[in-house]
Chains A and B, each alone.
Chain A
Amino acid sequence: MKRCLIVDDSKVIRMVARKILQELGFETEEAADGQQAVDACKRQMPEAVLLDWNMPVMDGIEFLKTLRAMPGGTGPIVVFCTTENDIKHIQEAIEAGANEYIMKPFDNEIIQSKFSQVGLL
């Protein structure tokens, strides 16, 4: 079973994402900010990361840069999932190594479609 780390400071969003991802056959783990996500990746690299942008302690883009510099950190497929929906943010995310980008609000159809595009499904 593939593992997906859900990184979002909103408990509600994490719950919604967890439900969708479990239905798609993922084992899930959760982190409430970028630092918690780094710690989780140090313990075990997931196959996928669903990543919010704006979070306290460490934001999504900083986490992504940290992850990509970690040993084995190029492995996980990272899908941003954020309310930041302008081209500048999207380009910054792609340059930092994001594989896909979801603009909130999202639903199971969008997650499924994006995850199959990047070969996770």
Chain B
Amino acid sequence: MTPDRFTFISELLRERSGLVLTTEKTYLLESRLTPIARRAEVSDIDALIDLMKVKRDVNLIEEVVDAMTTNESFFFRDIKPFDLFRDHVLPPLLEARASKKSFRIWCAAASSGQEPYSIAMTLLEQKAKLAGWNYEIVGTDISRSILDKAEKGVYSQFEVQRGMPITLLVKYFEQQGETWRIKPEVREKIKFKFFNLLESPASLGKFDVVFCRNVLIYFDQKTKGEVLERIAALMPPDGMLFLGGAETVLGVSNAFKPVPNQRGVYALT
């Protein structure tokens, strides 16, 4: 790929999604954009990029961003954060909201839905404690196609076996041939919405707990800081943030501080 084509596509991705594409990731362009080139009836991805240069086709641009930002996800990814949520974040939250009996959770990179569904199942497993409570989980993502999958809540046998205990599978999923569909009682706890983390999340409302895991790693330092500041602005003073295992707020934002002995959990400063 010529340097000017690479510059064009990497700048477009950074501007639209915050994704930082380095030259050693050029192979990703090849594997993910080739199907789009075929659909656009051009010979290869070089031709696709040339087409995008001359014609600012919004749908095409969205399709390209979508393809480049789609990431795989697992149920109960890394397990620990969900245990920490249940054992250390939820109890004080329930105590603090005892009069209001409601709270809201935001999954800021919901991907194909495994994370919000894992949170919903964690909460449903605490049914007794949550009797009479209202809670809402909002799952957002920049990819419309991945949100479609999340909303359907249908997963392959392979997907439901990565990370999910068999007892939860039997309890919260219905088998449909070779696939497994999340039951309505879990599905109805979650609102899926299209949202770009580079934009203001003010319209999403306030959130007591935010999961923003394994998405900041794709952004540059400045963007990371800005995203964290905007998340902080949506939280009450006792709000809690979950980041991915390879992510931190240190040196990125002063809005959050790590919670001691709770890896990946951050409180407002």
On A, residues with C-beta under 8 Å from B are 85-87, 90-91, 94, 100-103, 106, 109-110, 113-114, 116-117
Contact = CB atoms under 8 A, between A and B. Distances in A.
B38 interface: no
A103 B169 CA distance: 12
Interface residues of B, number: 12
A91 B157 CA distance: 16
Q: Which 10 A-B pairs have the closest CB atoms?
A: A101-B166, A110-B161, A103-B157, A117-B165, A113-B163, A87-B175, A100-B166, A113-B162, A90-B170, A87-B170
Main secondary structure of the interface of B (DSSP, over half): helix
Nearest to B74: A113
A66 to B, nearest CB: 21
Contact of B157 (A85, A100, A109, A113): A85
Which among A85, A102, A113 has the highest number of chain B CB atoms within 10 Å? Answer: A113
B161 A103 contact: yes
A117 B166 CA distance: 10
Contacts of A116: 79
Interface of A is mostly: helix
B2 interface: no
Contacts of A90: 166, 169-170
B167 interface: yes
A85 B166 CA distance: 11
A94 B167 contact: yes
14 contacts: A85-B157, A86-B175, A87-B175, A90-B166, A90-B169, A90-B170, A94-B167, A94-B170, A100-B166, A109-B162, A110-B161, A110-B162, A113-B161, A117-B163
